[in-house]
């Protein structure tokens, strides 16, 4: 009997309640794709993280707090939101492990921002002030609807997953990719030019999207395709695990 594919999901943290929590759509989207999600503990303990990492086939980097601007050598501006240094430190280690071990990594919302900042790029700390325009990047509920479109690069992993040059996406964020990290390639853009997806083409599956498929997976085929592609990449990774890769940007 084949063992199920296991995907580690980075936890959401409520500072006021000092508690771990989770948006069900992250887990349900993975389950619907045929894999089993596990919410990871919030820790920066290297030994514990390595043990957890060895037990999963890929990592989903979820949304949540803003990334600490110290990652891209900037002072924190007044409009920058709440940060969680424990989570930043944890995800930095998990990101490094994914890249060294070539395990699939998929980032959502904060995920794309953390990938970019941790790998040498910069972020807009508050889009309404730093990239003002008519595109709605911080929509009101419900979140399972289109806020704007994105243009998808035809020569990208994202296009191979979706099979479309243009899709409609939801949007719920106030930060975004400014200067792209050297090892990443932008593969989707909002009408105002904001980067909406990135990938590292040197890795089998290293992808992040600014929008939120976890809110739309029940009704949106594109969201389902993203979860299915991630789960399948984790399945293929399990078959070929063992080849180490060291990124010069880490």
- Catalytic residue annotation: 109, 212, 214
For 170-237, the DSSP string reads --B-S-EE-SPPTT-EEEEE-TTS-EEEEE-TTSSSEEEESS-GGGTTTT-HHHHHHHHHHHHHHHHH
**Residue 71, CA distances (Å) to 41, 67, 90, 96, 197 in order:** 22, 8, 13, 14, 20
CA–CA distance, 210 with 198 (Å, rounded to integer): 9
**DSSP strand pairing (185-189 vs 176-177):** unpaired
Q: Residue 42: which of 52, 34, 32, 57 has the closest Cα?
A: 52
CA–CA distance, 242 with 64 (Å, rounded to integer): 32
CA–CA distance, 141 with 125 (Å, rounded to integer): 22
Q: Which two tokens stand for residue 65?
A: 């707090």
Angle between helices 110-118 and 85-101 (to 10 degrees): 70
CA atoms within 13 A on the CB side of 165: 1
């Amino acid at each position: 009997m084949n063992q199920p594919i296991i995907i580690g999901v980075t936890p959401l943290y409520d500072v006021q309640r000092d508690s771990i929590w989770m948006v069900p759509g992250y887990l349900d989207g993975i389950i619907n794709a045929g894999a089993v999600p596990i919410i990871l503990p919030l820790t920066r303990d290297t030994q514990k993280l390595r043990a957890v990492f060895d037990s999963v086939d890929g990592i989903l980097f979820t949304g949540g707090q803003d990334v600490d601007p110290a990652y891209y050598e900037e002072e924190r501006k007044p409009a920058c939101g709440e940060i969680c240094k424990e989570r930043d430190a944890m995800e930095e280690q998990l990101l490094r492990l994914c890249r060294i071990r070539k395990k699939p990594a998929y980032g959502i919302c904060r995920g794309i921002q953390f990938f970019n900042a941790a790998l040498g790029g910069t972020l807009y700390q508050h889009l309404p002030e730093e990239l003002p325009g008519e595109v709605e990047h911080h929509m009101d509920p419900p979140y399972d609807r289109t806020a704007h479109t994105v243009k998808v690069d035809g020569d990208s992993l994202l296009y191979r997953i979706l099979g479309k040059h243009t899709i409609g996406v939801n949007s719920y964020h106030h930060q975004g990719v400014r200067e792209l990290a050297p090892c990443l390639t932008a593969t989707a853009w909002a009408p105002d030019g904001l980067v909406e997806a990135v990938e590292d083409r040197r890795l089998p599956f290293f992808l992040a999207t600014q929008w939120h498929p976890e809110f739309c997976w029940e009704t949106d085929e594109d969201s389902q395709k993203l979860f299915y592609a991630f789960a399948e990449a984790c399945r293929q990774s399990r078959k070929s695990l063992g080849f180490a890769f060291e990124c010069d940007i880490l």
